[in-house]
Structure formats: structure tokens, C-alpha cells
Amino acid sequence: MGSDVRKNLIAGNWKMHATHLDAIQMVQKLSYRLDHGDYERVEVLVCPPFTSLRSVQTVIETDHLSIKLGAQNVNPNDQGAFTGEISPAMLAKLSVSYVIVGHSERRQLFGESDAFINQKMRSVFDAGMTPILCVGETEAERDEGSAMDRVGSQVAAGIAGLSDEELGRLVVAYEPIWAIGTGKTASADDADEMCGFVRSQVGAASSEAAERTRVLYGGSVNPGNIAGLMAKRDIDGGLVGGASLDPDQFASVVRYWM
């Protein structure tokens, strides 16, 4: 449901799936399933791997699609001896408008710290793009009742130093780690409670900006559970992994009201 000042955002995180040839087909198929009215209601974003960004950008521009392009990661440095890394300017030049920052897989598998994630946030804004800051607790943290402590500290560290204007443009994705790729979803009420908590943490920095900050839920979002999530006050959209790889399923998530 969100609010009138916040446009719903459905973002597909393709993770390490699809060659650039697959990606071209996926975005074309998605576009055939969506129309003008859908884009009016929902901002639609796909985040393919780096190797597909140029190809997907070309499809979007050639076919005049309203689908937005996002990246899954960035290195916060402008340039330099960082073998294998990609800079903010390289992404911005490909018409990338969003960058996923601090996904739990990057925190867990690649050891990204809150401080490094905060540097990425700064660099994404500086390059004129919008970060999607991912936060979320483990199953053990949820069981021991420390989910809010964990998520609160991730939000506070991630947004440190941002201006009120940047906080208003920011997107935060609440993704409980136990729900990612497992088929287990947080109940819509629990997800809404945590997304509201995320908003209150942004509100501690600027209550006015927090009304504009979009908060997404992520973790096994699919065509069957999206409507219940979107009905909630503090949920402004979804960050969708597995279900975003199939254009039929992803289009059904985008058209959650149908």
C-alpha cells in the first residue's frame, strides 16, 4: 500500500544468473507482459549481472521501455588498482539508476562490513544513482529476539552521513536472511512491522525524509504472497530473487493487484 508520496518499486535481483543473451530475452519477454498502466502504478527494475548491463541497457533504450536498470554491487572507489571491481561512474554511464548495496550474500560470503557498505552508499549517491540498502537478521537473531537490534544497527551504519535529501531518495530492502531463497516468507504482519521499524530508524535521522524513503520486503517473494505484502502500510515494494528470473512470474509480481 505504501503512501501517495512513495511510488511502489518492484526490483528483480537476478544474482549470478543469465548470460547476456539470456538477459536480452528475459527483459524483452518481461516487457511484452507489462503495459503503460503497470508502469504508472509500479516502478519496475531489473538488476542483472555486470556482464549483462550493456545489453539490457541497449534493449531498454532501443525499444523505449519503461523498465529501469540496476546493478547488484559496486566498488566505492572512483578508479584504481582494484582488480575485478566496477566503479560507480562505470555503472552510471550505462544508465544504471539503482545499485543494490550490502545484500546479505555479500555481507556473509564476501565479508562486507557496515563501514564498507556505508562507503558504497556515499559513492552511489555521488555518482547520481540510488542505492538499495539491504538489511536483515539471521534466523538465530530472530529466535533470540535481537532482530530489531541487528536491523537497526545495519540501517544506522548504512545511512550515516547522508543528507536529508538523500535519505528521502533512499531505498531500503528488509530481507530476513532465513527467508532468502528458502521458500519461507515472513508473514505480511511481521514484514510490515520490520519495514515500519526500518522507516523509524531512518526517521531518527530525518522524520520528514523517512516519509519518502521507500522500504521494500525481500525473501521468497512470489506471485502468491506479493498482494498480501503490498497491502501493508510500510511496505512499498519487493526485492525479488528467484521469481524475477521467470518473466511470467516476475510480471505477475509486478501486477500484484490482478
Footprint of ligand PGA (CB under 6 A): 13, 175, 180-181, 218-221, 239-243
Cβ 93 to ligand PGA, closest distance in Å?
Answer: 25
CA-CA distance, 29 to 256, in Å (whole number)? Answer: 18
Cβ 43 to ligand PGA, closest distance in Å?
Answer: 16
Closer residue to ligand PGA (CB): 11 or 209: 11
The residue type found at 84 is G
CA-CA distance, 77 to 166, in Å (whole number)? Answer: 19
Closer residue to ligand PGA (CB): 87 or 225: 225
CA-CA distance, 229 to 215, in Å (whole number)? Answer: 12
Q: Is 216 helix (H, G, I), strand (E, B) or coil?
A: strand
Q: Is 63 helix (H, G, I), strand (E, B) or coil?
A: coil
Question: Considering just the CA atoms, what is the radius of gyration of the chain in Å?
Answer: 17
Cβ 26 to ligand PGA, closest distance in Å?
Answer: 15
Listed in sequence order, the residues at least 6 apart from 28 whose beta carbon sits closer than 8 Å to its beta carbon are 59, 63
CA-CA distance, 233 to 142, in Å (whole number)? Answer: 22
Closer residue to ligand PGA (CB): 159 or 221: 221
CA-CA distance, 105 to 47, in Å (whole number)? Answer: 15
CA-CA distance, 7 to 203, in Å (whole number)? Answer: 18
Cβ 78 to ligand PGA, closest distance in Å?
Answer: 27
**Longest pairwise C-alpha distance within the chain:** 51
CA-CA distance, 121 to 130, in Å (whole number)? Answer: 8
Closer residue to ligand PGA (CB): 168 or 238: 238
Closer residue to ligand PGA (CB): 70 or 76: 70
Cβ-closest position to ligand PGA: 241
Cβ 15 to ligand PGA, closest distance in Å?
Answer: 7
CA-CA distance, 236 to 87, in Å (whole number)? Answer: 28
Active site amino acids: 103, 175
